[in-house]
Each structure stands twice: as structure tokens, then as C-alpha cells.
Amino acid sequence: MASGFYNAALVDIGKAVIDLDTDTLKLGLTGTATTYTYNPDDVFLDAGGANDVTDAELTGVSGYTRGFGGAGRKTVTITGQANNTNNRADFAIADLTWTALGTGDTIDTAFLCKEITNDAGSKLIASFDLTNTPTNGGDITLDFLALGSGGNLRFAA
């Protein structure tokens, strides 16, 4: 599995359709019960067929409500700064914790999105490949890189 931006999201960020600072953006989790293969050409969470993010979002896990508006997707805080040393802009997502996720699936990726009207209209921004982690009733924390460490979303000049 790979990590990366979705191509349409990069265009939307460039046109200020998606604003990393001020828009309400969410991060959700996909599992291995139904796999999703990252494709940078994907645009929406629900593409209406197989192998989309909606199909692979965690399922059957207490403590995670999947789908549009579901409590499983966490609102993110993103900060950014210029990185003149490496000629790029670095953005960092604040760490997130899902509390007491019940058994039933194995987390394999996280996805960043902008929920709009429903999953068929909600835009994918980035996908993050994670170490496969079975849900076991405990907390799951995603510990993202801080800005001083280069952040986890980068735009190179």
C-alpha cells in the first residue's frame, strides 16, 4: 500500500476549493475486512463501485461509526509553515485518538477528506498507509510528525 495525495485534491487545494487551514477536514480509518487499494486518480469517498474508501472503512467495530457524518471520522487540525531549507511547504496534522475500538477489523490506512453532502460528493485529499493494527478494545492513536519534524503533508517547490 502507498501513501499520497489524490490528484484532484491537489488541484482543489491550488484553486482554494479545499483550504487546509480553515475547512472542516476529517480523518477516517479503513480496515482489511474489505480492502482498499490507494489510487491517486480517485476523487470521492464513494465512487459507486468496488474498491472505494467507503467500502473499506472500518466496519463492525464498536466505538467507530463509519460513513458520512459518522463519529468514526475525526475532525483534524492542520498547521503549516514554509520549509526554506528543503524548498517546500510542510503541513502537520495534530495527533488523533480513537478510544476503545472494539474487536472486528484490522486498521491498514487512514484517509483525509472533506465531507460535503454525502460520501458520493465528499472529496478525498490524502491516504496514509499504516502498520496493520487489529482493533482489540483499546485506544488507537495516530502520532503524526510535528512541523519541526517536517510534517506529514508536503508541497515541494
> What DSSP character marks residue 119?
T
Per-residue pLDDT reduced to its tens digit, 4-61? 999 999 999 999 999 998 999 999 999 998 888 999 999 999 988 778 999 999 988 9
Cβ distance 20 to 27 under 8 Å?
no
pTM beyond 0.75, yes or no = yes
CA distance 43 to 76: 20
Task: State the cell numbers at 17.
Answer: 476549493
pLDDT tens digits for range 46-104? 988 778 999 999 988 999 999 999 999 999 999 999 999 999 999 999 999 999 999 98
Q: DSSP state, 104?
A: S
